[in-house]
């Protein structure tokens, strides 16, 4: 019998289902790597085109009976999520794509300066999307090819965000996956919470960068360290 995961509440289940739904929207055959230990489940996915890893952490109602680490179908996991009951059934393991063997480090993350605020990040992404559409529409018919559109996309999404090394594609991925939506809180945004971490932060560990938000993270390699994920070597994690 496949293991049951019991989430902290129905909201945790709904957020996981939304994340999986977005991954499946981009790739119907998407796989996710699951790692569970203690009272949390980490779900790793790789939406096509963005060249990032997406990470959604889900709070569990009780610790898993044994450490869990396997790759499964995102679609099968999504189908098993029961939001009302706040639970899901772990599907059978699948042979995952190469990226599932290469995950960011678990520790050693340090916050970096220079990241704009959430609204400024959303505006930067919206501006880049508008620029891509305008430049695409301006192409003469004979140049409206996949390779030319890819070239424009690489140029735009490889730009860095604010005063950081983070490529715009990582912020675009975070926005597209629902990680940059307004924060649910009963505390007015003008009232600072002493000792609270920044709601959106840029972290670094070794050759990795991670854009962390309250709803999930996206991770990628630092510029000059292979860029994106394509140059990574597969190794156990």
Write down which residue in 42, 76, 101 finishes a domain.
101
Residue 194 lies in a domain: yes
How confident is the model at residue 227, as a pLDDT? 52
Give me the number of domains the chain comprises: 2
Residue 237 lies in a domain: no
d(CA 212, CA 180): 9
pLDDT band at residue 186 using 50, 70 and 90 as cut-offs? very low
Strands 87-89 and 68-73: unpaired
pTM of the entire structure? 0.86
Among 221, 125, 230, 130, which Cα is nearest to 173's? 125
**Residue 228 Rama label (left phi>0; alpha psi -120 to 50; beta):** left
How confident is the model at residue 90, as a pLDDT? 95
Residue 230 lies in a domain: no
Give tens-digit pLDDT for 136-177. Answer: 999 999 888 999 999 999 999 999 999 899 999 999 999 999
Residue 231 lies in a domain: no
Q: Identify whether residues 124 and 202 lie together within a single domain.
A: yes
Domain of residue 66 covers: 4-101
d(CA 54, CA 57): 10
CB-neighbour burial class of residue 56 (10 A; exposed 0-12, middle 13-18, buried 19+) = buried
Give the gyration radius of the chain's Cα atoms.
19
Asked whether residue 123 carries a pLDDT value surpassing 50, the answer given is yes
Q: What is the DSSP letter of 15?
A: H
Asked whether residue 234 carries a pLDDT value surpassing 70, the answer given is no
The neighbouring-strand residues paired with 147 are none
DSSP codes of every residue in 113-180 = S-PPPHHHHHHHHHHHHHHHHHHHHHS-GGG--HHHHHHHHHHHHTSBPTTSS-BHHHHHHHHHTTTT
Residues 6+ apart with CB under 8 A from 35: 41, 42, 44, 68, 69
Mean pLDDT calculated for residue range 219-230: 70
How confident is the model at residue 228, as a pLDDT? 57
């Amino acid at each position: 019998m496949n293991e049951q995961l019991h989430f902290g509440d129905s909201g945790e289940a709904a957020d996981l289902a939304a994340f999986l739904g977005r991954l499946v929207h981009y790739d119907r055959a998407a796989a996710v790597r699951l790692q569970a230990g203690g009272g949390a489940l980490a779900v790793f996915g790789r939406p096509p085109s963005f060249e990032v890893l997406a990470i959604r952490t889900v709070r569990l109602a009780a610790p898993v009976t044994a450490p869990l680490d396997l790759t499964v179908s995102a679609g099968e996991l999504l189908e098993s999520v029961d939001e009302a009951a706040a639970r899901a059934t772990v599907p059978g393991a699948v042979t995952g794509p190469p990226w599932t063997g290469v995950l960011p480090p678990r520790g050693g993350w340090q916050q970096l300066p220079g990241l704009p605020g959430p609204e400024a990040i959303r505006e930067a992404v919206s501006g880049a999307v508008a620029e891509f559409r305008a430049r695409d529409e301006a192409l003469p018919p004979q140049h409206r090819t996949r390779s030319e559109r890819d070239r424009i996309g690489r140029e735009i999404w490889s730009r860095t965000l604010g005063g950081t090394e983070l490529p715009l594609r990582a912020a675009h991925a975070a926005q597209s996956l629902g990680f940059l939506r307004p924060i649910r809180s009963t505390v007015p945004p003008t009232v600072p919470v002493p000792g609270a971490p920044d709601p959106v932060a840029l972290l670094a560990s070794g050759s990795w960068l991670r854009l962390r938000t309250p709803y999930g993270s996206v991770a990628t390699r630092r510029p000059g360290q292979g860029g994106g994920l394509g140059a990574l070597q597969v190794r156990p994690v």
